[in-house]
Amino acid sequence: MKLPKLLQAVLVVVGVYIGFKLVFSVGLHQPIPSSLLTMYMFFVVVATLLVTTATEESAKEMSAPIKALVEDPSKKTIRNIVFVLVPLLAAWMTYSKLAPSFEAPVELRTIHPAPPSSLKAYGKSFDMMKLENPFSKFQKEDPEKFKVLVKEGGDVYYKNCHFCHGDKLDGQGQYAQGFNPLPLNFQDVGTIAQLQESYLFWRIATGGPGLPKEATPWLSAMPVWKDFLTEDEIWKVILFLYDYTGQAPRSWAAH
Amino acid sequence: MKSFLKIMLFCILVLIGFVGYANFGIPQVKPAPPPTEEKLDLGNMTMDQFIALGEKVFNGKGTCTLCHNNVGKRAPMLDGAGEEAVANSAPLRLKDPRYKGKATTPEEYIRESMKEPSAFVVATFGSDGDTKSPMPNVTTGSIGMSEAEVDAVIAFLQNKAGSEVTVKIPVGAPPSAEGGAAAPAAPAKTPEEVIAKFGCGACHKIGKEEGALGPDLTHIGKSRNEAYLRKGILDPDADIAKNCPGAPCSPGMMPADLGTKMTGSELEMLVQYLVKSK
Amino acid sequence: MSFFSGFKRLTCLTLLLSLLFAGGFSFTSIPVFANMANAEEAVKSEGTPTESVKEGEKKAEYPPAPKLTAADYPQIGGFNPRILVWIVAQLHLWFAAFVLAVPIFVLIIEAIGMATKDQRYDNMAYEFIKVSMAAYSITASITAIMGGLLTFTLLVFYPDLFKYMASLFSRSMLAYAFLFFAESASLYVYYYGWHWLEGGFKKWVHLTIGLVLNFVGTVLMLLANAWVTFSMSPNGVDPATGAFLGSEWDVIHNFLWNPLNLHRVIANIAYGGSIIGAYAAYKFLSSSVKEEKAHYDWMGYTANVIAVGGLLPLPFAGYWLTAEIYAYSQQMGITLMGGAFAWLFIMQAVLIGALFLSVNYYLWCGMGRSEGSGRYTKHIWWIAALIVGCFLVWFTPHTLVLTNQELKALGGPYHKYLGPLGIMPAKNTAVNIMIIMTFLSFTLYRRANKIATVSWAASGSAIQAAIFVAAILNIIFLGVYHGYFTNTAYKVAASIPQVLSTAVVIISTLIIDSMMFKGAKEVGPLRWGKVPDRSQYALFMLAVSFTWLMGLMGYVRSGIRQHWHVNSIMRDNSIDAFTPTIGVAAQVVTSATVIFMAIVIFIFWLSNISSKKSAVH
């Protein structure tokens, strides 16, 4: 038996929805955020409508049951039920959207906010546009020295940073779970691999309090490292971060 | 007409959809307001501190004392006593028939003289019949003083002259592009930086700088050796050159304290640079 | 990359030619704006002959960029100067894009007509330029009015900024005015010479005039682009003071000029197609005569093909522009993609998705014109599924909006599986597959009415299918491998083979198709005009989305300068220096779109009246 087109469409939409829920919540244990799922489903519904109305026949098939519902005298009972249910559903959705709840408001946090154009630290001003790691050049010029520098950076890291960012640089340090936001996972391709070294220097030197407003400086637990580390130590630890994770800073040299 | 209305309705609905999504579908991030132009401490500064800042700039970053000293007589004294002080002589100069600037008050006159030194050249200190001043505009180039620093220097000069300080502490202006005169200068990394840092170009023709008071150094490596040049920096009055453009060279013109101000590497960089300038 | 350098050469050439045009006119004479540049300031800096720190400062006759305070911005009436200038500038841009796009469109159609020897194309090109000639002269004058209005509002509300820009671009502004004149002249020759220059060699002459017309139009746009990109990536001025260094070419040829040029030229073609598509759709819906319906259906289809042709390479041009913005300034790049504007790109993704979906929908609906389409309609659903799948990846944001419960469930703000979809490699992969699928829709549409008669038809189709599958797999492999398992330098590099894969699919399919369907049997005559009205709304969707999207991207292009009139040279110290939120920007853009649509509809209505009148005579 062939299912009516409208029912097919509804089934497809419901199937996709359940599929998303199953795969992400049950299968991967990482549920899709509801805000995103809403948008996903919106476009799934739109696309389903587009596909089912692309040809004249299927468009007729699609609209036939709706037409029948509205016009066919024999469907009076079901019509009345639907006409009561639909406004109720809309009312319920509006109510549940507007009803106050105990949920804390969603706070939007920009993880990588735009850096300032210049940075003041160590009694001088760094031009973020031109700032470069003074040690990067040794990677090619003097690999031996570079290795030593990376090792020194590693020492700095394990003395200061690994408590939160983890000994594998994966953001899983001993204290990590105590923080919200969590310490960043440097192994993730979405973090340091997306950034230039000057950016890391800025983030390490000024820490959480140095974040701009959109990145909620009041939440971050990152210390202001320029008060504890020297300029060279910060540059060395940056070398270490990239070296350990096997990432390279964002650069346009290859371009 | 019906189809026209239908189309309009459709387009308007699409637009409402877009604007609705932009307003309610995605979070509204309020971009940070424009930074107030770094106040630093100007907001909290007392007039005394402001005058102290001016003195620091006058003796340091501004490189004013390179010429405005009573040794070389290259430029009029500014911070002397009585008539010598520019803050006191300014009213007279404003009335001078040779004056061609736009200033009406002493404060404006001093500010103008820093930015457009040729607006009035004190007799005997200029070229072309005292119409052109050898002084650079201090807000540009390697000196690059900010408006606030210019004001601070005016406050310092007025205070030093014992006249009323008419300058207001500016609010919301950066004291300097590089983080203020207070910041100790970092050691220079290239000879060009050394030249810029110590303001050699204010008097000498060197590199891209075109000073016209001291000897031309662009080809100095041809005629002088390394030892002579090093000594020339550390003890400038030991041997006075004879080929100054303009008036004859005189002892005391070049600051004698470069040896204490420069780091070892800066001195060596500069000497090597000069030796190679052939 | 040689393409880009080739492009650079081309733009150099065009500029050189424009210099020749303007040579006798303005280059030896005194810049018209010289009296505007503050003469006193010029005197001021002449008084510093010894100041000679940087080479350029030897040319001390140029004043530095003015430093402004809030008092320097006139407040007149209850106007919000920024929103006023914003809307006027946006309208100017749309009309200018339209005015430039129509000749591009007409020229392409004329060339197609010449190549295929199909008189219909030539007729349509002529008809379009005839119908739009009335519209065009109004549009051109509206563009001129808008341009004048823009100058006026800038002069009134941002006098110092205008003076500064005028002092830098004095010559090119003059050249601009002159070229505007040349544009109109060549347009009239092109239009009135249409029938006179027909057939054989004469047609070539006519085509050349069309080329000159488009060339002048493009140079006009390039000049205007220079003003815009200068404010983003200033060049040719002293970085400390903003004083002009003496070479106007340096000021024009700034860092972001060419990337923006490429982006805007391509977008113009797509935009012209979409607006004309909307025009055809309007005529289609409002007419009841069968022949007319068939004609406008065909016109809408052709316009749509051209719009799609422009739409497909557009993401890559945009990608290049963004990469160059990043390369110019990390701060600008992050402000654009990761900072306050990150959500704008989700909005943009939704709009681009809407564009792709409407284009595809139009093609699917269009299969109804052919009786042979039944063979292919069964494929629509999985093409749609793939496009939607890619589209979902395309708009997945890097920063997710999470409730606290979700935060807990995820163990942090990062989503392990969706997070990686938020960065560029995933987007590149998605957009390439979306383009390939759109092209597949187009291929199926073209086949709907044909039956191949060559003996190797089956194996030919199999080869094509294999190329499609291989290219998609390759794109996914490149995206996943280079995007997630190598470092950033490769990430940029990976996008190039991805684009090449897409290009290979498109070119090879077109070649095989042209061979396979040589002398193919037609299933039946194409029933132009037999498309559902729904499909025409897809064309409106395309035009409206395109217009709105241009406005939105204009906001962000301008917004990433933040509180600068000219980035890091001249600060905006007006009370409106803050950056508005996306919601506010969307409201402004929507208002501007409504004004634009109203004027365009009015123009179409006017031209309708005039063409009806001439039909009576």
Q: Does C492 touch chain A (CB under 8 A)?
A: yes
Within a domain: residue C292? yes
Q: Check pLDDT > 60 for residue B60.
A: yes
Q: What letter would DSSP give residue B169?
A: P
> Quick one: A68 and A151 in the same domain?
no
pLDDT tens by residue, C57-111: 444 467 777 777 777 787 777 778 888 888 988 988 888 888 788 888 888 888 8
Positive or negative, the Cα torsion across B188, B189, B194, B195? negative
> Quick one: A175 and A228 in the same domain?
yes
Those residues whose C-beta lies under 8 Å from the C-beta of residue A215, and which sit 6 or more positions away, are A109, A110, A111, A113
Report chain B's mean pLDDT, rounded to a whole number.
76
Measure CA C524 to chain center: 38
Which of C81, C56, C53 lies closest to C572 in space, CA to CA? C81
pLDDT number for residue C362: 92
> Quick one: B169 and B208 in the same domain?
no
> Quick one: B155 and B55 in the same domain?
yes
Q: Which two three-digit tokens encode residue C571?
A: 């600060």
pLDDT number for residue C390: 92
> Quick one: B134 and B248 in the same domain?
no
Which of B11, A216, A162, B251 lies closest to C282 in space, CA to CA? B11
Within a domain: residue B27? no
> Quick one: B163 and B107 in the same domain?
yes
pLDDT number for residue A18: 94
Positive or negative, the Cα torsion across C338, C344, C348, C353? positive
Neighbours of A122 (CB within 10 A): 14
Q: Which domain holds residue A160?
A: 118-245
> Quick one: C129 and C226 in the same domain?
yes
Is the distance from CB of A233 to CB of A156 less than 8 angstroms? yes
Nearest CB among B31, B35, B178 relative to A125 is that of: B178
Last-in-domain residue among B129, B150, B184: B184
Task: Find the angle CA(C325)-CA(A201)-CA(A135) to the nearest 5 degrees.
Answer: 95
> Quick one: C543 and C518 in the same domain?
no
Is the distance from CB of B233 to CB of B225 less than 8 angstroms? no
> Quick one: B115 and B239 in the same domain?
no
User: How far does the CA of residue B77 sit from the closest CA of chain C (Å)?
Assistant: 20
Q: Which two three-digit tokens encode residue B45?
A: 């500064």
> Quick one: B155 and B221 in the same domain?
no
> Quick one: B200 and B82 in the same domain?
no
Within a domain: residue B264? yes
> HEC string of C411-478?
CCCCCCCCHHHHCHHHHHHHHHHHHHHHHHHHHHHHHCCEECCCCCHHHHHHHHHHHHHHHHHHHHHH
> Quick one: C282 and C426 in the same domain?
no
Task: Find the angle CA(C507)-CA(C511)-CA(C512) to the nearest 5 degrees.
Answer: 120
> Quick one: A72 and A28 in the same domain?
yes
Within a domain: residue C463? yes
Which of A196, A184, A204, A183 lies closest to A121 in space, CA to CA? A204
Gyration radius (Cα) of chain B, Å: 27
Q: What letter would DSSP give residue B209?
A: E
**Phi, psi dihedrals of residue A20, rounded to the nearest 5°:** -55, -50
Which of C480, C476, C482, C481 lies closest to C502 in space, CA to CA? C476
Nearest CB among C388, C413, C417 relative to A28 is that of: C417
Last-in-domain residue among C477, C501, C522: C522
pLDDT number for residue B71: 64
Confidence of residue A16 (pLDDT cuts 50, 70, 90): very high
> Quick one: C464 and C419 in the same domain?
yes
pLDDT number for residue B83: 67
> Quick one: B176 and B218 in the same domain?
no
> Quick one: B193 and B275 in the same domain?
yes
Higher per-residue pLDDT: C472 or B206: C472
Within a domain: residue C358? no
pLDDT tens by residue, B69-127: 766 666 777 776 666 777 777 877 888 888 877 888 888 888 888 888 888 888 777 77
Tell me if B11 and C52 make a contact (CB, 8 A cut-off): no
Those residues whose C-beta lies under 8 Å from the C-beta of residue A35, and which sit 6 or more positions away, are C400, C401, C402
Distance CA C289, CA A182 (A): 67
Within a domain: residue B1? no
Is the distance from CB of C523 to CB of C447 less than 8 angstroms? no
pLDDT tens by residue, B124-174: 777 777 777 777 777 765 566 778 888 888 888 888 777 777 887 776 544
> Quick one: A87 and A142 in the same domain?
no
Those residues whose C-beta lies under 8 Å from the C-beta of residue B156, and which sit 6 or more positions away, are B51, B52, B53, B54, B55, B57, B58, B79
Q: Which two three-digit tokens encode residue A38?
A: 């809403």
Within a domain: residue B117? yes
> Quick one: C507 and C608 in the same domain?
no
Distance CA B229, CA B238 (A): 11
How many separate domains does chain B show? 2
Is the distance from CB of B252 to CB of B71 less than 8 angstroms? yes
Last-in-domain residue among B169, B184, B199: B184
Last-in-domain residue among A55, A70, A98: A98
> Quick one: B99 and B219 in the same domain?
no
User: How far does the CA of residue B25 sit from the closest CA of chain A (Å)?
Assistant: 9
pLDDT tens by residue, A21-68: 999 888 888 888 888 898 899 999 999 999 888 888 888 888 888 888
DSSP reduced 3-state for C260: helix
Last-in-domain residue among B184, B216, B248: B184
Within a domain: residue B259? yes
> Quick one: C442 and C510 in the same domain?
yes
> Quick one: B112 and B149 in the same domain?
yes
Q: Check pLDDT > 70 for residue B44.
A: no
Distance CA A207, CA A228 (A): 11
Within a domain: residue A255? no
Within a domain: residue A94? yes
Q: Which domain holds residue B203?
A: 188-278
Backbone angle region of B144, left / alpha / beta, with phi > 0 → left and psi within -120 to 50 → alpha: left
> Quick one: C144 and C107 in the same domain?
yes
Report residues of chain C scoring pLDDT below 50: 1-60, 616-617
B1, B2, B3, B74: which to substitute to probe chain C, counting the most C Cβ within 10 Å? B3
> Quick one: A183 and A132 in the same domain?
yes
Within a domain: residue B7? no
Tell me if C399 and A193 make a contact (CB, 8 A cut-off): no
> Quick one: A88 and A151 in the same domain?
no
Positive or negative, the Cα torsion across A214, A216, A217, A220? negative
Q: Does C239 touch chain A (CB under 8 A)?
A: no
Distance CA C21, CA C179 (A): 8
Last-in-domain residue among C522, C555, C575: C522
Is the distance from CB of A147 to CB of A140 less than 8 angstroms? no
Q: Tell me which amino acid residue C176 is.
A: Y
Within a domain: residue A110? no
Higher per-residue pLDDT: B248 or C76: C76
Nearest CB among A106, A108, A124 relative to B179 is that of: A124
Is the distance from CB of C242 to CB of C68 less than 8 angstroms? no
> B-chain residues within 8 Å CB-CB of A124?
178-179, 183, 186
> Quick one: C175 and C258 in the same domain?
yes
pLDDT number for residue B260: 78
> Quick one: C275 and C376 in the same domain?
no
> C-chain residues within 8 Å CB-CB of B144?
240
Within a domain: residue A187? yes
User: How far does the CA of residue A187 sit from the closest CA of chain C (Å)?
Assistant: 11
Within a domain: residue C384? yes
> Quick one: A78 and A157 in the same domain?
no
pLDDT number for residue B16: 93
Burial class (CB within 10 angstroms; exposed 0-12, middle 13-18, buried 19+) of C397 = buried
Within a domain: residue C571? yes
Dmax (CA) for chain A in angstroms is 89
Tell me if C368 and A46 make a contact (CB, 8 A cut-off): no
Within a domain: residue C14? no
Query: Helix and strand tally (H, E) in chain A?
Result: 9, 2
Q: Which two three-digit tokens encode residue C20?
A: 């020749």
pLDDT number for residue A45: 93
Within a domain: residue A180? yes
Is the distance from CB of C342 to CB of C398 less than 8 angstroms? yes
List the beta strands (DSSP E) in C463-563.
Answer: 521-522
pLDDT tens by residue, A125-153: 787 777 888 888 888 888 888 889 999 99
Interface of A with C in 169-208 (CB under 8 A): 171, 180-182, 185, 188-190, 193-194, 196, 198-199
> Quick one: A70 and A140 in the same domain?
no
- Relative to beta strand C570-571, strand C564-566 is antiparallel
Place of tokens 């007279």: B92
Measure CA B152 to chain center: 12
Within a domain: residue B138? yes
Place of tokens 């319906």: C293
Q: Check pLDDT > 70 for residue A255.
A: no
> Quick one: C392 and C541 in the same domain?
no
pLDDT number for residue C427: 85
Tell me if C50 and B212 make a contact (CB, 8 A cut-off): yes
> Quick one: B150 and B252 in the same domain?
no
pLDDT number for residue B176: 42
CATH number for the domain harbouring residue B215:
2.60.40.420
Tell me if A43 and C392 make a contact (CB, 8 A cut-off): yes
Q: Tell me which amino acid residue C515 is.
A: M
Q: Which two three-digit tokens encode residue C33?
A: 């704006």
Within a domain: residue B13? no
**Residue C87: C-alpha distances to residues B31, C93, C147, C542, C582 (Å):** 21, 10, 12, 21, 15
Q: Which two three-digit tokens encode residue B232?
A: 């020339």
Q: What is the ipTM of this complex?
A: 0.80
Helices (H), B31-85: 47-59
pLDDT number for residue C5: 42
pLDDT number for residue A220: 86
List the beta strands (DSSP E) in chain B.
Answer: 205-206, 209-210
CATH number for the domain harbouring residue A125:
1.10.760
Tell me if B117 and C47 make a contact (CB, 8 A cut-off): yes
**Phi, psi dihedrals of residue C289, rounded to the nearest 5°:** -80, 135
Within a domain: residue C380? yes
Which of C241, C86, C157 lies closest to C566 in space, CA to CA? C241
Within a domain: residue A250? no
> Quick one: A137 and A206 in the same domain?
yes
Which of C359, C375, C383, C442 lies closest to A51 in space, CA to CA? C383
Q: Which chains reach chain B with 3 or more Cβ–Cβ distances below 8 angstroms?
A: A, C
> Quick one: C506 and C580 in the same domain?
no
Q: What letter would DSSP give residue A23?
A: I
Within a domain: residue C484? yes
How many separate domains does chain C show? 2
pLDDT number for residue B185: 55
- Relative to beta strand B209-210, strand C450-451 is unpaired
Last-in-domain residue among C467, C487, C522: C522
Distance CA A156, CA A145 (A): 17
Q: Which domain holds residue C575?
A: 70-340+531-616
How many separate domains does chain A show? 2
Neighbours of A195 (CB within 10 A): 21
Place of tokens 């640089």: A169
